[in-house]
Amino acid sequence: MSSESTWLRARLSILMFFQFFVWASWMVPIGTYGPMTLGLKGGEMGWIFSTTAIAAIISPLFVGYIADRLFATQHVLAALHVIGGVCMIMAGFSGSFGPLFAFLLVSTLAFMPTLALANSLTFRNIEDPALFPRIALFGTIGWIVSGFIVGIVLGEKSPAFLYLAGVMELLLAGYVLTLPHTPPRKKEDGDQADFLGLSALQLLRDPEFLLFTVCAFLIGIPAVYYFVSCNLYLSQINAPAPTTLMTLGQVGEILVMAAMPIFIARFGLKKVLALGMTVWAIRYFLFATLNFPLTILAIVIHGFCYVFVYVGAYIFVDTKAPRDMRASAQSFISFLMLGVAWLLGANLAGKTNDFYPAQISGIESKLMRAETIPTDYKVPTWSELLGKYDANQDGALEENEFRVAQSKENDQERKARGHAAALLREISALSPARSRAAIRAAVNGEFYVSAEDYAAIQRNDWQNIWLWPAIASLVVAIIFYLGIQDRKGEDQASYKQEDTPSPQAGEKTQEGTTPTDETTSA
């Protein structure tokens, strides 16, 4: 291989690295930032995560197919990244749901087409399509690197990660202009646009393909719960660097992708799909234990969940659809799984989080109804309470620390102390006595609240939240498994590495034909 070819591969690898670096920089930590910093409700967060699905549905209609037939691909990429980067930075300045949603929606509408266009540019500039998975691998690496930067350096509760994503996307806009000139593709005779792959609907006459399509769509709904809720869950259980922890899923993704041909050869593609659906259920049951080591295991097995289901789905379509219909069929499955199913799943996940809120919500409502605290009362953080009221500096708050008025305390500060005492009294009543001091306070009819008590009361009811997608995934897995048993002699799908979608840009089986892969958004 010539040095020129090696240099080109390196430049295209850098493109993939930053494509997914930008996406991961905001997609993962926004799950914590929205609720814990901006105070967004679960339903609002459902719409925040729906921006990706809306963009995946809409963007192919006006960019993905038309743009690279009218303008040079690198110019389209640059323009879209400028729009996306500016809107992402503006999202960082947004302090409420409306502006944040609006800027993220415009940003994702600009960004999502760039994933397919980056694939198109890469395929058109490499001599051997079999090289694509090695180039696309750098997308996963970019996702992991961004997770370390956000999780360890920036954190999830500051808008800094939005600024990072925006600035890096603007830099990426400049970088793509240095890539090889990739002129518009010529429209050939009979080259008609089938943006959503609806011409593939005729394949549903095949009962096996119908079963697969229905189950692929249904499993895509509970799958989104992971992306919407995992980062917030990790933050609420005080896991260290949640965004960094979630990159373990990408490490597992790489390993499972490498091993997937072995699984297909051993069990057959349809059983691999059924296994992937089952693993989705298993991971949610692991989350529901609220046990930290099992939570880490649930993140690590992300590769089996995503690769077996999403990448397996694209391989299944490639083996079942006639050659002249493969592109449409791939677009159709992507439209269902990454568009419609993601949209439904994100909103259901948000509503589920609202249905099982933290106990602090009930306490606030009770105190507001009793007019003990004002309706606009903002619950202070634990560090704020300790700084103001922990007189003996033992890291806990007890009633006798609130009886004595602080020196130079004005009326507003006196009211704030009373409100905090009322809040802590309710929290103490719901918290188990974890120490002798807590037992002694309970015997005396006083409150005693530790850091653990205060953290526990502000967590959603995660056990019930995770059980819903766990049960749904298990039901879909059972339906699919029972359905494939009706077919005798399961076919062993031929599997070629070069035909397999990568974990970074998995939907891409033919040049520029399918939407983007949501996998690495984990």
| Residue 55 · residue 105 · CB < 8 Å | yes
Share of the chain above pLDDT 90, in %: 44
Residues 165, 37, single domain; the answer is yes
For the cut 50, the answer to whether the pLDDT of residue 295 exceeds it is yes
What values do phi and psi take at 436, rounded to 5? Answer: -60, -40
398: β partners: 448
For the cut 70, the answer to whether the pLDDT of residue 195 exceeds it is no
507 confidence band (pLDDT: 50, 70, 90): very low
Residue 185 resides in a domain: no
In the predicted model, what is the mean pLDDT of residues 5-15?
88
pLDDT tens digit sequence for 28-79: 999 999 998 998 999 999 999 999 999 988 876 666 556 656 788 888 899 9
pLDDT tens digit sequence for 270-286: 999 999 999 999 999 99
Cα R_g (the chain), whole angstroms: 25
Q: CA geometry: angle at 19 spanning 153 and 220, to 5°?
A: 95
- What is the Cα–Cα distance from 146 to 419, expressed in whole angstroms? 41
Q: CA geometry: angle at 117 spanning 187 and 75, to 5°?
A: 85
CA distances from 28 to 150, 161, 228, 259, 350 (A): 9, 10, 8, 26, 15
Residues 227, 100, single domain; the answer is yes
448: β partners: 398
pLDDT tens digit sequence for 462-502: 999 999 999 999 999 999 999 888 654 444 444 444 444 44
Residue 340 resides in a domain: yes
Task: Give me the residue label for tokens 């390993």.
Answer: 255
Residues 274, 370, single domain; the answer is no
By DSSP bridging, strand 448-449 and strand 397-398 are antiparallel
Comparing 506 with 212, which gets the higher pLDDT?
A: 212
- What is the Cα–Cα distance from 227 to 349, expressed in whole angstroms? 9
pLDDT value at residue 94 = 93
Residues 169, 43, single domain; the answer is yes
| Residue 117 · residue 67 · CB < 8 Å | yes
Comparing 3 with 88, which gets the higher pLDDT?
A: 88
397: β partners: 449
In the three-class reduction of DSSP (H, G, I as helix; E, B as strand; rest coil), residue 397 is classed as strand
- Chain centroid offset of residue 58 CA: 19
Task: Give me the residue label for tokens 């690295």.
Answer: 17
The backbone region for 500, taken as left when phi is positive above 0, alpha when psi lies in -120 to 50, beta otherwise, is beta
513 confidence band (pLDDT: 50, 70, 90): very low
Residues 367, 342, single domain; the answer is no
Q: CA geometry: angle at 372 spanning 369 and 373, to 5°?
A: 90
pLDDT tens digit sequence for 59-73: 766 665 566 567 888
Three-class secondary structure assignment of 244-256: HHCCHHHHHHHHH
In the predicted model, what is the mean pLDDT of residues 6-20?
91
CB contact set of 422 (below 8 Å; sequence gap of 6+) = 367, 372, 373
- What is the Cα–Cα distance from 203 to 196, expressed in whole angstroms? 14
| Residue 189 · residue 74 · CB < 8 Å | no
CA distances from 272 to 179, 306, 335, 469 (A): 38, 11, 22, 20
- What is the Cα–Cα distance from 237 to 461, expressed in whole angstroms? 11
In the predicted model, what is the mean pLDDT of residues 430-444?
85
Residue 439 resides in a domain: yes
- Chain centroid offset of residue 505 CA: 15
| Residue 269 · residue 216 · CB < 8 Å | no
Of 405, 434, 457, which closes a domain? 457
Share of the chain above pLDDT 70, in %: 86
Residues 141, 39, single domain; the answer is yes
Residue 260 resides in a domain: yes
pLDDT value at residue 1 = 54
Residue 186 resides in a domain: no
Could you tell me the residue range of the domain that residue 273 belongs to?
Answer: 3-180+196-357+461-521
pTM to 2 decimals?
A: 0.84
Closest to 73 measured CA to CA, from 166, 179, 187: 179
Residues 395, 330, single domain; the answer is no
**Structure token pair of residue 465:** 């939240």
Residue 189 resides in a domain: no
Domains of the chain: total: 2
- What is the Cα–Cα distance from 80 to 472, expressed in whole angstroms? 37
Residues 451, 470, single domain; the answer is no
Q: Any idea which of 151-155, 205-209, 272-276, 406-410 has the lowest mean pLDDT?
A: 406-410
pLDDT value at residue 394 = 85
What values do phi and psi take at 463, rounded to 5? Answer: -60, -50
In the predicted model, what is the mean pLDDT of residues 144-159?
94
Closest to 212 measured CA to CA, from 144, 148, 163, 271: 271
- What is the Cα–Cα distance from 485 to 418, expressed in whole angstroms? 65
> Alpha-carbon dihedral of residues 441, 445, 447, 453, nearest 10 degrees?
80
Residues 310, 428, single domain; the answer is no
pLDDT value at residue 86 = 97
514 DSSP assignment:
S
pLDDT tens digit sequence for 359-397: 888 888 888 988 888 888 888 888 888 888 888 888 888
- Chain centroid offset of residue 151 CA: 15
Residue 165 resides in a domain: yes
pLDDT tens digit sequence for 218-260: 999 999 999 999 999 999 998 999 999 999 999 988 888 888 8
pLDDT value at residue 335 = 85
List the CATH number of the domain containing 271.
1.20.1250.20
Of 437, 457, 477, which closes a domain? 457
With 0-12 / 13-18 / 19 or more C-beta atoms within 10 angstroms meaning exposed / middle / buried, residue 262 is exposed
520 confidence band (pLDDT: 50, 70, 90): very low
| Average pLDDT in the chain | 84
With 0-12 / 13-18 / 19 or more C-beta atoms within 10 angstroms meaning exposed / middle / buried, residue 492 is middle
Of 414, 434, 457, which closes a domain? 457
Residues 397, 270, single domain; the answer is no
> Please, what's the largest Cα pairwise distance for the chain?
87
In the three-class reduction of DSSP (H, G, I as helix; E, B as strand; rest coil), residue 449 is classed as strand
Residue 190 resides in a domain: no
Residues 287, 381, single domain; the answer is no
- Alpha-helix residue ranges (DSSP H) falling in 28-131: 30-37, 42-59, 67-70, 73-92, 97-125
CA distances from 59 to 115, 157, 204, 228 (A): 11, 30, 25, 22
Residues 227, 335, single domain; the answer is yes
